[in-house]
Amino acid sequence: MIPIARPDIGPEEIAAVTEVLQSGMLAQGRKVQELEAGWAEYCGVKHAIAMGNGTLALMAIFAGIGLEPGDEVITVSHTFAATANAILSTGATPVFVDIEPDTYLIDAKKIEKAITPRTRAICPVHLFGLVADMDMIRAIADRHGLIVVEDACQAHGAMFRGRSAGSFGHGAFSLYATKNMTTAEGGFVTTDDDALADRLRLYRNQGMRTRYQFEMLGYNYRMTDLAAAIGLAQLAKLPRNTARRQAIAARYDAAFGELPIGLPITPDGRSHVFHQYTLNVGGARDAIVADLREAGVGADIYYPIPVHRQSYIQERGLHADLPVTDGAAEQTLALPMFPGLTDAEQDVVIEAVRAAVERHLGPGAGSAAAAAAGSASR
């Protein structure tokens, strides 16, 4: 089976971890500081604060900005549940708005209608490796005095008009095993806010600046030096691996361009880092996914049940009418996408998609794709 994702772990990461193990400094230490400095520079921000995972990064931001019961945060339902869960962890309420039908990102034109006197923040999700329309979102936030929290957990290195994801507000990144950059588990907060950065460094360390002197209520959200060592090796690889993901996506685009399906788009002024390569194949999605898996292609669905339709959300009365989100949940699938995907493996994926589309969307649907796939292979 060709997996949906495969971490790029090699001798660099092994050597880095071995060095830390031999040093005897395993917990948060020098490697964490090096990784934080490197990520802050990469994103063009003043501060990067390493966290135990991406969910904790989001939770720390929402706690750090002082969210409390009665507050609202505007976000999307077409995302991993951690986006909403981090808001709920403070007692605040996620308010869901719909997404754009082509980018699957928050539809910024719908945000202002969702603002109420209780709204404290807007949390766009830079899904699949593409940054949301941050010009419009920042303008809305500035007009209404709202905080911007970027869920950039899938957008390492993605750009919007020359600026990096995570640099438009307070950003949260995940370093989970399948992300574009990994520490196995881990995360970052990025911010230009000195006071928030200082607060979060205390918050993640049990409230301590000096050992056994507790300045505030805090928790253990720390990253280990073992994880940071992996992250430093991964950061060095990130530009190369991003270019490879983009090349794989371009080859998919060429192979599928004449098929009656929706391909990923990259609006002008943005760069896509392709954490996922997502297709809209319409109502035959589940049958096509079954065919792909039967052919040895690990296609997957992100996300089959939107957050607003999860039982624990509905039990809280957080209902929303999100037809585009519901459509994406029913019609989209993701194909294998990772830097180590070989051309031969991609040929298998392309042929399997062509055959499944022809079978379920009608005769002739795959003939144009066969020619395109052959051209893409040359």
Active-site positions read: 179
- Strand 47-51 and strand 187-191: the pairing is antiparallel
62 backbone dihedrals φ, ψ, rounded to 5°:
-65, -35
- Dist CA 263 CA 192 (whole Å): 35
> Which pairs with CB-CB distance under 8 Å and at least 24 residues apart come from 246-250?
246/272, 246/273, 246/274, 248/274, 248/277, 248/337, 248/341, 248/346, 249/274, 249/277, 249/337
Contact 333, 300 (CB under 8 A): yes
- Dist CA 338 CA 7 (whole Å): 7
Block residue for tokens 């788009």: 265
H-type alpha helices, the chain: 11-23, 30-43, 54-64, 82-88, 111-114, 134-144, 194-203, 225-256, 285-294, 311-314, 323-331, 343-361, 367-377
Query: In the beta sheet, which residues pair with residue 96?
Result: 75
Which of 289, 316, 322, 370 has its CA nearest to residue 4? 289
